Structure 1
Amino acid sequence: MKFSSSLKFNAVAEWWDEYIAYDTLKKTIYQLEKQQQAPNGVDVYSDLEANETSALVGGSTSATDGIFVPLLDRELKKINLFYESQEEELNRELEELEALVHRQEAGGFDEYYADEDDDRDSDEDSVSRSREPPANRRRRASAARSPRNVSSQPSEFAIPEEPRRERGYSMSSDENNGEMEASTVTLGGTATKRALGRIATRVRKMSLSESTPSATSPTEATSIWNAHTNFAYDTRLLFKRRITTLYVAFTSLRSYVEVNYSGFRKILKKYDKITYNSLKDRYVHDVVELAYPFTAQAKDKINERIARLTDLYAKCCTHGDIHIAKQQLKLHQREKVAWERDTVWRQMIGRERRGEAGDASKAGATLVHEPEPALLILGRFRLTKRILWLLLSLAIFLTMLNVQIVSVDEANRCLAILVFCTVLWASEAIPLFVTSLLVPLLVVCLRVIRNSESQAGLSAPDATKYIFSVMFSPTIMLLIGGFTISSGLSKTNIDRVLITRVLSLAGSKPRTVLLAFMCVSCFASMWISNVAAPTLCFTLIKPILRTLPPKSAFAPCLILGIALAANIGGQSSPISSPQNLIALQEMDPALDWGKWFAVALPVSAISILLIWGLLLASYRPARSPDGEGDIEIRTIRPTQEPFTGKQYWVTFVCLVTIALWCVAHSLESVFGDMGVIALIPIIAFFGTGILKKDDFEQFAWTIVFLAMGGIALGKSVVSSGLLEVWDGLIRDMVDGFSLYTVVLILSPVVLVISTFISHTIASVLLVPIAAEVGSSLEGNPKNLLIFITALICSAGMGMPVSGFPNQTAAQQENDLGELYLTNVDFLKNGVPASILATLVVSTLGFVLMKVVGV
């Protein structure tokens, strides 16, 4: 990426005008280059502020230096002034924040449980209020909680919106729109501090009157930072937001200095290269590095402020644990950077690079990742979990190569490769696609491929031609066509338009909203993959989650429902997940899309309804946390933009392609295979400019190579004779069993394996076995068992690691950095959901497969 784009990519959006004017300086350099080549050398100066003079660095008398150095001086002065003003403002905010923390602790912990009226308006009035009937006290507390009595007062503590709703605050739309954000802190004079005392007292009294029996008592807690009352929760939330906001501001200021320093070095390097000068080293060392923002003193100051903020965060939010405080603050910083890169600068960078909005979805790839924890450290050697698994897999591989387990040499070596790759795939010791790329290397070098007629091992050149010919099959082309459709729908915003319009009809009832989101997640997973669909849905539900009361059961219920539905969507269409394409590759004859939909759609619909009922019974999401009444959900607003011609074109091409896939068998004489039909959207979208070269580069090529490696391994198992060895064992195992009995035996095996390893890897390992089992049964129900195996692979969703939708859901957290879901949520709901989906496949799915003639 060019530095001009990198500058925009790494800059803070609000400070953009305060960064070095890199593009302007670059244009000046090009003008100076023209001036050097002009015959008279005087025509360009009028455009370059020739009337300005400056003391040249190092006494240089170069004409170009005399023009360029004043421009650099002006940029350096701008950066210096902005940095000093920002540093002063942030330092003041930090001191005020520290004062607030100390003031919060100065009153002593007992006051948070006291029944005194700190307003001291009237002791007698306080006593009389305490003797009021409960109904009167509730009415008086309700009045005290009204925004007219609380929000309208200028306060250092803005009460967060979520706790207000939780404790029954009612606010009009005008008041809500004008309400300060929870992270805002208004620092003022004596009147503000007095208002703080009155409001804090009222909140403490409300917290006492409404705290649950399990709330922490003075004997159980030592400070407000570990208490469990509503007031303590509000206070920690406020300070958490304030500290994280200030932490991000300080780290952004530090990044501002680093980016500008790189900017000076880059622009001076370009200047020296184009104008044949040597200004860079002199100007950087003698001017830039002596300016205040770039000095060691300034860097030490900002690092010291960041350390103080970390200590405050540890005190207020992590019970004094500095390590956890650093991790959480860095996570907030990374989320801020990723959000700005993905949201603010996406269109700007895209226009510069391609002439229209681009896709910066890989922004997070440049972020710094925490190193993997070491199990053992010996000097410079760090034994991590990945290295341990890699060493173990290599040991197993070498052992199996030297032990004759199978009588046929090629089959024995193929078994060693199969076990080696299985361990690597299951442990993810190296990236999954890298393991797949090992397959052709190993099967060629170890002479695994045999001639189908003579059964003699193929030479390395012949084995290479064979293995690469089967790796890039029509199925892989079908996968790439699916990526093209997904990218086209996302690039033209069709997916978001359709989804928001459907969700706008869901209303405000929790059970209806939950079902709508589950259906949308399932449907989106059919066409834009079950990797992108849950991510899109989690983005859409954030406004809903922000308006829910704290600890509402609807939040984890909705997140888990979207993830489970996305897994179910992975079985609904042939291109929704790689395991379906691997199954199609093994089927003979290949199954057309019409029969796939005839089975998968009813199975998915019934599974979604059963899982929806399970989540409603488990979470009871309609009930408010305090048990008083039901909650209402904020309605999703549909996008108002009408469909454009480009969107109609993308929709038309997608529908035509899907229709052709559904009747592919009837058109074999025209197209030959569904992989050829997959070329239609590729040509239509890339040929008309809807998708660009960069979009093609951003396809999930790791998944493509993962599928290719799986296909290569499956063909190697057949060619080496290993499948023939298995054939006898499998025939003995299923001898005397009916087809449905075999289905009932196979289903739980597939479910357990796909729960603990990748769904795609599970299909790579299990589909060949299912094919061989089917070939051993009467009537050769090979396709049926392959179909059932592929559908159940998507139903393995009982653990947080079971598929990408579950992994994404497990990472969702609230404003306090607390995860919405725990392992208990997955065990309590994901495991039963997996069992229900598997039962639907093995019963209803089996019947439908027999009906359509699979």
Structure 2
Amino acid sequence: MKFSHSIQLNASPEWQANYLAYSQLKKILYAIERAMLGVEKLPASPRDIEADGDGDDETSPLIGEQQLLLSKLSPDDANAFFVRALDEQLDKISAFYARKEASIFGEVEAFISDVSKLESSQGVHLDLEIGNGQGGPASSSGVSVEEPTLPSQRSTNMSSGTWPRRQNSLPVARESQNRPGSGDFSTQLWASRGMKLNRHRFSRRATDLFILLSELKDYVELNYTGFSKIIKKYDKVTGSKLRRHYMATKVDLARPFRPNSKENINGMIDEVVHIYATIRTDGKVGIALTDLKGTLRERVIWERNTIWKDMIEQERRRETIGIRPPAASDVEKPDTTEISVFGRKLVLPAIPWDCVKIIVCIIAFLTLLISPTLEKVEQQNCLAILVFASLLWALEVLPLFITAIFVPFMIVVLRVQRTATVDKHGNATYTRMTAKDGAKKIFSDMFGPVIMLLLGGFSLASALSKHNIAKGLASFVLGKAGSKPQWVLLANMFVSTFASMWISNVAAPVLCFSLIQPILRNLPARSSYARCLIMGIAMAANVGGMASPISSPQNIIAIGTMDPPPSWPQFFAVSLPLVIVMDILIWCILLAIYRPSASAGSAPPELFGHSYFAEHPLDRKQWYIIAVSFLTIILWCAESALEDYVGDMGVIAIVPIVAFYGVGLLTKDDWNSMLWSVVMLAMGGIALGKAVDSSGLLLEITHSLTPHLEGMSPFKCLALFSGLVLVGTTFISHTVGALIILPIILKVGSSLPDPRANTLVMAAAFMCSGAMGLPVSSFPNMNAVSLEDPTGTPWVDVKDFLKVGLPCSVVAWAVVMTIGYPLMGLVGIQ
């Protein structure tokens, strides 16, 4: 493994920029070699040599067939140029070490002081003096803690220079009689019941400090090794003898690499180990050291696993390769199948299961296409397309977005679209569109405002994630919810529902999925915890579509259809109890199906119990991103009032795209890595919904059911129509379903013996959002099914929606019927 990769794997991720820039030094080295051979000139400064990638390929020839035309660089000038580069790196490392030493050592001394004060308040009076000159680097217990350790993810980045410094450096370990927490009485004190809460709090602080000190110790060792290796490589390539002189006169004398600095770190580690032993292990230092190293090892496993996945993801994006576990179809199977017929064996070729599924889909398609079920040929063809596409999506015969792309092809070729001609009496006459007109119409429908809304939401999520704002928000949510999966799930579901109330359930899930990325990135593929979180956010975003008058287009359509329209207080009086009950019931369903359990490294350790923003103050770029995000969200919320100026929410979505990409916060690579499969899936869903609307299929089905509703009670009528809406909008766009069905429901409700037209319309609008049984049922579902882990493996698939989405849809229908219907009567919606 290249040492540049070794640094990347072993370095603390939050300190990455402060390690030795090994790849950059390698580039400088090879530039010097080319200059010494006369191939090219060196730039004025080592900083002018770009550091992209991980350095040149060490196995490739450096010169090739180029002609040596320039004057060759002298060895002295080469040494001077490389030493300048080394000095810059050494200064950077020394300055960073000085800041971290002051910060971490100050925390250790504050910790020791707090322990002493607590013990004194409990009757134990100890000497609080630190560093009276009598101690030495060795622990009086004889337990060595100088064994090299690896870094961890946890770091605090506290402000530097806040702890008063002594004349030379901070002290090393003191004698045991001066140490807080030493002695049998202290051990008994910490073991008492009254110290339970303090024991947990202080042992956590000791663990964090042990990890930070071990991280600082490894920072020194890793950089020292890096200097030695890069100078050795330089000597080998250029024939110089720089290594011994530079290491002895510069590196060994630098503050991080002095012997007393290492002794101070070891002494502080020894202090923390002894105090932890008194607090947690009845004074047994060996057991305490084992516990602390075990915790450190868990953090290292988490960190390396995360970094390794990040490296795989970068390679996958650069090389456009996918790494997936072998599917069942990839397992070697016999090419033939033997069957017995009347005692004789027949050998038949084996048929792959995927072929069987696609044959079933094609047979169903052709059967509906030929059978005269409906009078109009365009409606008959549309029904065949609807069933065929739904089967392909449900059985996953093709990738979901490929099926979506195939939908407009079938719509145009089978000519299911119609155009209306209205005479002077207001009567509409429908004629089938030609293929040419149909193609123009379907492509203009596919890229609509919703697609721009998706792109704007993706841009917001990408900026929040790339610049660590999502990580800070996740730490806040998880800090309130704790580390137990069930509470993390519930907290994220409520966040998703709340966000969907105000910024629509198209953009909200994109932002919410970015919040859980710090958790997902360390979970194994197909993890039950990961699937539970993703499905929970998607289902909660669907439920959030019912929560406010502006949370979804179907709510706006319903309010415009109702006469008189409900006020906002009336709407919230019905919707809020519904969404809260639905979220809790769906939460129970998810826990019952997935049974998520907290596995090792299920979330970054620093996300629990710590304020990320307190330890990492926001910079100008982050404030700019937050300001643009809030501005976009406010504009989305006020879209109805600004409709005369902006026209649609999709136009507002252009604001973050221009604001982030225009100033370079997001780049072309970020744009290219956007979830275009979700965009294509959304386009296919829109095309299918528009075709169902244009062909009159759903209208024909609804009209055929209307005569059977005469004499029904409002409750039975509501049950039937809401069930019809639930089934219909599972396959087509919620908005299209609302546009077609709600006006019909208004007329039917007005003609009932006990008119409850507004109740029927409002309940039907709720059920449009409650349809969540397929990946194409809603935009939150489309986002969820397209999420992948760093290796390119999808987190969830169609099976997850069938076993989760369908029960959740039934639960939504039952809640609307049992709670929503009486609530509407109570608040005066008739």
TM-score normalised over the length of structure 1: 0.49
- Distance in 1, Cα, partners of 2:587 & 2:691: 42
Q: What's the CA shift for 1:698?
A: 2.6
Cα 1:24–1:770 change in 2 (3 A) is farther
Matched, 1:793 2:771: yes
Q: Which amino acid aligns with 2:610?
A: R
Deviations 1:61-104 (A, max 9, x none): xxxxxxxxxxxxxxxxxxxxxxxxxxxxxxxxxxxxxxxxxxxx
Instruction: Establish whether residue 496 from structure 1 lines up as the match of residue 484 from structure 2.
Output: no
Moved more, 671-680 or 462-471: 671-680
Matched-pair contact (CA < 8 Å) for 1:574–1:593:
no
Please say if residues 532 and 591 of structure 2, whose CA atoms lie closer than 8 Å, have aligned partners that are also in contact: no
Alignment of 1:318-329 (within 5 A): none
CA displacement at 1:395 relative to structure 2: 2.1
Question: Aligned runs of 1:12-411 on 2, under 5 Å?
Answer: 13=9, 34=40, 41=69, 43-44=71-72, 46=74, 339-343=306-310, 366-373=322-329, 377-378=334-335, 383-411=351-379
Q: Distance in 2 between matches of 1:7 and 1:589?
A: 65
Structure 1 equivalent of residue 611 of structure 2 = 638
The Cα offsets for residues 530-567 of structure 1, whole Å up to 9 and x where unpaired, read as: 4774685484499999xxxxxxxxx98x8787456424
Q: Secondary structure at the residue paired with 1:340?
A: helix
Match of 1:158 in 2: none
Shift of 1:734: 3.5
Unaligned runs of 5+ in 1: 52-150, 154-167, 181-333, 350-358, 546-554, 623-632, 812-818
RMSD after superposition: 6.2
Instruction: Give the counterpart letter for 2:72 in structure 1.
Output: V
CA-to-aligned-CA distance 1:579-619 (integer Å, 9 cap, x gap):
98685798795999996994655533343455668999999
In structure 1, the residue matched to 2:399 is 431
CA pair 844-487 structure 1, distance change in 2 beyond 3 A: farther
Other-structure match for 1:96: none
User: Residue type of the partner of 1:571?
Assistant: N
Q: Is the 8 A contact 1:436 1:709 kept in 2?
A: yes
2:442 is aligned to 467
The SS at the match of 1:688 is: coil
Aligned-partner Cα distance in 1 for 2:405–2:594: 44
Question: Which whole-Å CA distance do the structure 1 matches of 2:481 and 2:536 have between them?
Answer: 17
What does residue 274 of structure 2 align with?
A: none
Return closer, same or farther for 1:667/1:28 CA change in 2, 3 Å cut-off: same
Matched, 1:784 2:762: yes
User: Which residue type is aligned with residue 680 of structure 2?
Assistant: F
Q: Which amino acid aligns with 1:778?
A: G
CA contact (8 A) 2:404 2:681 kept: yes
- What are the within-5 Å matches in structure 2 for residues 686-725 of structure 1? 686-725=661-700
Instruction: Report SS of the residue matched to 1:664.
Output: coil
Shift of 1:700: 2.2
| Structure-2 change in CA distance of 1:541 and 1:664 (3 Å) | closer
Q: Quick check: 1:449–1:457 contact (8 Å CA) kept in 2?
A: yes
Cα deviation 1:665-702 (Å, max 9, x = unaligned):
33222222222222222222222333222222233222
Match of 2:537 in 1: 566
2:748 counterpart letter in structure 1: L
| More off after superposition, 637-646 vs 610-619 | 610-619
Distance 1:412 1:751, change over 3 A: closer
The CA deviation string for residues 276-298 of structure 1, in whole angstroms up to 9 with x for no partner, is xxxxxxxxxxxxxxxxxxxxxxx
Contact 1:594-1:662 within 8 A present in 2 as well: no
The 1-side partners of 2:593 and 2:683 are apart by 41
For 2:726 and 2:9, locate their aligned partners in 1 and report how far apart those are by CA, in whole Å.
Answer: 48
Q: Counterpart of 1:339 in structure 2: which amino acid?
A: T
- 1:524, 1:744 → 2: CA distance? 29
Q: Secondary structure at 1:675's aligned position in 2? A: helix
Match runs of 1:480-629 below 5 Å: 480-506=455-481, 516=491, 518-520=493-495, 530=509, 533=512, 536-537=515-516, 539-540=518-519, 562=533, 565-571=536-542, 573=544, 583=554, 589=560, 598=572, 602-609=577-584
The amino acid that maps onto 1:636 is: G
Which residue of 1 is the match for residue 703 of structure 2? 728
Distance in 2, matches of 1:593 and 1:29, equals: 77
Contact 1:451/1:458, CA 8 A, preserved across alignment: yes
- Using the alignment, how far apart are the partners of 1:794 and 1:707 within structure 2? 15
Matched residues in 2 for 1:381 and 1:619: separation? Answer: 38
The 2-side partners of 1:849 and 1:543 are apart by 45
| Superposition deviation, residue 450 in structure 1 | 2.4
TM-superposed deviation, 1:641: 1.6
8 Å Cα contact 1:771-1:786 kept in structure 2: yes
| Distance (Å, rounded) in 1 between the aligned partners of 2:64 and 2:485 | 71
Equivalent position of 1:665 in the other structure = 640
Q: CA deviation at 1:421?
A: 1.0
Separation (CA, whole Å) in 1 of partners of 2:325 and 2:303: 15
Q: CA deviation at 1:847?
A: 6.8
Contact 1:508/1:634, CA 8 A, preserved across alignment: no
- Equivalent residues, number: 535
Structure 1 residues 463 and 720: CA distance shift in structure 2, 3 A: same
* Separation in structure 2 between the aligned mates of residue 658 and residue 852 of structure 1, nearest angstrom: 32
Counterparts of 1:728 and 1:575 in 2: how far apart (Å)?
Answer: 26
Letter matched to residue 621 of structure 2: K
CA gap of 1:397–1:601, structure 2 versus 1, over 3 A, is same
8 Å contact kept, 2:404–2:683: yes
CA distance in 2, matches of 1:468, 1:425: 21
Choose the corresponding residue for 1:422, options 379, 390, 394. Answer: 390
Q: Do structure 1's residue 448 and structure 2's residue 424 form an aligned pair?
A: no
| Change over 3 Å in CA distance of 1:791–1:654 after alignment to 2 | same
Task: Give the deviation of 1:414 after TM superposition.
Answer: 1.7
**Contact 2:689–2:732, Cα closer than 8 Å, also in 1:** no
CA separation of 1:32/1:644 partners in 2, compared to 1, >3 Å: closer, same or farther? same
Separation of aligned partners in 1, 2:625 and 2:397: 40
Q: Aligned to 2:749, what secondary structure does the other structure show?
A: coil
Counterpart position of 1:276? none
**Post-superposition CA distance 1:601-641 (Å, at most 9, x none):** 5533343455668999999999xxxxxxxxxx995322122
Matches within 5 A, 1:757-772: 763=734, 770-771=741-742
Maintained 8 Å contact 2:746/2:761? no
Distance 2:379 2:442 in 1: 16
Instruction: For 1:621 and 1:345, locate their aligned partners in 2 and report how far apart those are by CA, in whole Å.
Output: 26
Partner Cα distance (2:642, 2:738) in 1:
27
Cα distance change of structure 1 residues 507 and 765 upon mapping to structure 2, 3 Å threshold: closer
Match of 1:684 in 2: 659
- In the superposition, the TM-score normalised over structure 2's length comes to 0.50
Match of 1:186 in 2: none
Q: Counterpart in 1 of 2:259?
A: none
